[in-house]
Amino acid sequence: MSTPEELEETIEAGLATLDPHADALRDHPEETIAPALATAPERSFELSARTLVDRLARVKLDGDDARLVLGEVLGEGGMGLVRVADQTSLGRKVAVKSIRAGAHPSEAATYASDPGEDPDSLKLLHEAWVTGTLEHPNIVPVHDVVLDQEGHPLIVLKRIEGVTWSELLKQPEAVRERFGAKDLLDWNLRIFTQVCNAVSFAHSRGIIHRDLKPQNVMIGAFGEVYVLDWGIAVALREGGAGGRLRLARDVREMAGTPLYMAPEMLAVGEPNRLSERTDVYLLGAVLHEIITGRPPHAPAPGTSHSIQAFVSSVMEFRPSFASDARAELTSICRKALEHEPEDRYASAAELRVAVEDFLLYRGSAQVAEQARESLEQLIARLGALNPTPTGSATIDGAAEHRDIYNLFGECRFGFEAALRVWPENQIAREGLRRAQTVMIEHETRSRDLKAAATLLAQLEDPPEELRERVAQLERETEAARREAQKLVQLGRDLDLSTGRRVRTTLALLIGLAFTLTPLLRDPTIHATTTQAARLKMLTWPIAFLVIVGMIYLVKRRTLQTATNRRFYGGVMLALAAQIVVHVGGMLLDLPIHAVHVMLFGLWFCVVAMLAIAVNPQLTYGAVGYLVGFLVAARWPELRFYAMTGANGLMTINGTALWLSQQARRSERAREQAP
């Protein structure tokens, strides 16, 4: 990079060199600045114009025996004139380029070794030498170089029926109509690659053009592409065009078209930096015009042309593009227009390959761009979700959830499709990664572990922070799952519907048994203390305990809930308590009727606690046992009748309670039914 002092010196030198062309530059900045060529040995010319002119044949331009019959003018420049002509020997139309009438030697003629030599003729011959040595499909063929009757050189060229590329760039409708182009950018870039081909071929012959621009490219009627105007081309090595070309290292003056010129083309002193990369810059300038519609050094609208502004633009230019320009293409253009030659593409061929790759994978880029738009909508939609106090994202309804996943599906499908066509598409790769990342973040906020883990598995080399967030969600989800399992198990344990029929049946059977069996006992046995009588009375609670235990063992698989365990445990505990009371009476040698009175007290306490803890409606049963306790204590001979009455009341109380619960349950079911 040049220092400010070096830049100032360069600009001053450039201004001094361009001063003779100030008027032309101001009025026509798109035209080529071409100083006169000299033939002195130090200018690397081995043959003078006069020597070459003496070897050329003169041709007649009029009369019946004329070899060339000049016709209408096809084009005219500052020094040259191109006309159509009939080449009578072959009966075909050709183009003839000659020195324009009125052209005169410029001040650069003082460099010629012989004052009689015409520098304008030398410039015309110089172009013929270059074009003649470059036989390429994209370079206009030179058929011959002859002299007119006054001794002025004429270049006989292939006639091209077409228009300059610069005209077509300004007339997109003409391109569509004439060449059937549906995609103007694609059409212009394919023209550009053919220009790169011609320039690359010239570089292989050691020649650089120095004046590449759309005005110097001709497009034929059938889409043929020709690079024209090699008048200021120079050779990079000895022997270019048979030793007739100037060497780039000998260039001292500025030449080229100001609107496209490379920074090193301003340098008029040593060291000379002209190289193939100079043409690469010029090609980049053409690419800039394709993308933006204007050359890189074109003055801003409304500003006047000036040499100072032009030189400053060349030295300080940094390309900028509209926001809708393709990033891949603008990246190529920026590299071609780098200020330092070593930072540009190494060759025109390398630039051509980059543009061809863009064309090849442009479909991938377009799909990726569409996917990127969907990604932006997805990010905006996710950003609009309101976080809950716990930090998780909420989605209002299935429609919102569906819209989010539709957007994610669109952008993911687009990015993946773009990558299938072009695996090196970094925009698609980064877009896909971004889409997956924002959805993983969304799913972690939404507490959806399955979706987050699935997306994380699809993400290539996910960030550690994202891994940790999903892992934390997994730990929290597992803890919540275990807690939910506990709640489910608790609900199952407390579910009264499980085993209800078995419990009800058993309760009714026990109630009926306890109601009827006292009537089968001998009421006169109330004060006896014999062991036989005691054992006989103990048989009933033992039998009931065994029967209930067997029922539980048979039904245990369908009764594995806390409610059933408590029910059967309570029943068996009550029966076991009766056995314990009987055994206690035996140990205390109490009369049998006293033991029966104690049983009334036991039953009263059990049912009273159930009324307090479970259902107050069991109070009726508790009152029945209390009355039975008092009757049995006062009239022992009536204790079995009291047992029947108390147990019967308890059975009726329990049955009524069960029927009322069933009715309420049915009512709730009817209310919940659709």
Distance CA 106, CA 294 (A): 31
Distance CA 598, CA 576 (A): 14
Q: What mean pLDDT comes out for the span 503-525?
A: 74
Residues 458 and 386 in one domain: yes
Residues 322 and 431 in one domain: no
For residue 519, the tally of other CB atoms under 10 A from its CB is 11
Domain that holds residue 16: 1-30+160-360
Q: What mean pLDDT comes out for the span 359-368?
A: 85
Residues 75 and 194 in one domain: no
Residues 503 and 378 in one domain: no
Buried b (16+ CB within 10 A) or exposed e, 171-206: eeeebeebeebeeebebbbbbbbbbbbbbbbbbebb
pLDDT at 574 over 90: no
Number of alpha carbons in the 13 Å side-chain half-sphere of residue 180? 3
Residues 126 and 65 in one domain: yes
Separation in Å, CA 333 to CA 203, 276, 297? 20, 16, 14
Instruction: Let me know how long the chain is.
Output: 674
* Token pair belonging to 317: 């230019």
Residues 509 and 387 in one domain: no
Residues 320 and 247 in one domain: yes
Q: What is the pLDDT of residue 253?
A: 77
Residues contacting residue 268 through CB under 8 Å, at least 6 positions apart: 13, 14, 16, 17, 252, 253, 254
Residues contacting residue 139 through CB under 8 Å, at least 6 positions apart: 131, 198, 201, 202, 226, 227, 230
pLDDT tens by residue, 103-114: 544 433 333 333
Q: What mean pLDDT comes out for the span 341-350?
A: 95
Packing angle of the helix pair 362-383, 397-421 (nearest 10 deg): 160
pLDDT at 453 over 80: yes
323 versus 244: the higher-pLDDT residue is 323
Number of alpha carbons in the 13 Å side-chain half-sphere of residue 521? 28
Residue with tokens 């059975």: 651
Q: What is the pLDDT of residue 48?
A: 47
Q: Would strands 92-99 and 68-76 be described as parallel, antiparallel, or unpaired?
A: unpaired
* Token pair belonging to 404: 């989010």
End of a domain among 115, 140, 159? 159
The CATH number assigned to the domain holding 323 equals 1.10.510.10
pLDDT at 475 over 60: yes
Asked if 385 and 393 count as a contact pair (C-beta separation under 8 A), the reply is yes
pLDDT at 202 over 90: yes
Domain count, the chain: 4
Residues 220 and 238 in one domain: yes
Per DSSP, what are the bridge partners of residue 146? 154
Distance CA 212, CA 209 (A): 7
End of a domain among 144, 159, 174? 159
pLDDT band at 266 (very low <50, low <70, confident <90, very high): confident
The CATH number assigned to the domain holding 71 equals 3.30.200.20
**Whole-model pTM above 0.75?**
no
8 versus 549: the higher-pLDDT residue is 549
204 three-state secondary structure: helix
End of a domain among 334, 360, 386? 360
Range with the poorest average pLDDT among 486-490, 523-527, 648-652 = 523-527
pLDDT at 386 over 60: no
Residues 568 and 606 in one domain: yes
Separation in Å, CA 514 to CA 61, 521, 620, 651? 145, 12, 17, 9
Percentage of residues in the chain having pLDDT higher than 90: 23
Q: How much is the mean pLDDT over the chain?
A: 80
pLDDT at 58 over 80: no
492 versus 178: the higher-pLDDT residue is 178
pLDDT tens by residue, 598-618: 888 888 988 888 888 878 888
Which amino acid, residue 509?
Answer: L
Packing angle of the helix pair 619-634, 639-672 (nearest 10 deg): 180
pLDDT at 170 over 50: yes
pLDDT at 476 over 80: yes
> What are φ and ψ of residue 37, in 5° steps?
-95, 145
Residues 262 and 346 in one domain: yes
85 three-state secondary structure: strand
pLDDT band at 389 (very low <50, low <70, confident <90, very high): very low
Residues 420 and 341 in one domain: no
pLDDT at 378 over 50: yes
Q: What is the pLDDT of residue 105?
A: 45
Q: What is the pLDDT of residue 268?
A: 60
Residues 317 and 346 in one domain: yes
Asked if 291 and 329 count as a contact pair (C-beta separation under 8 A), the reply is yes
Q: What is the pLDDT of residue 110?
A: 36
Separation in Å, CA 115 to CA 34, 49, 118, 245, 524? 20, 11, 8, 20, 167
N-terminal to C-terminal alpha carbon distance within the chain: 82
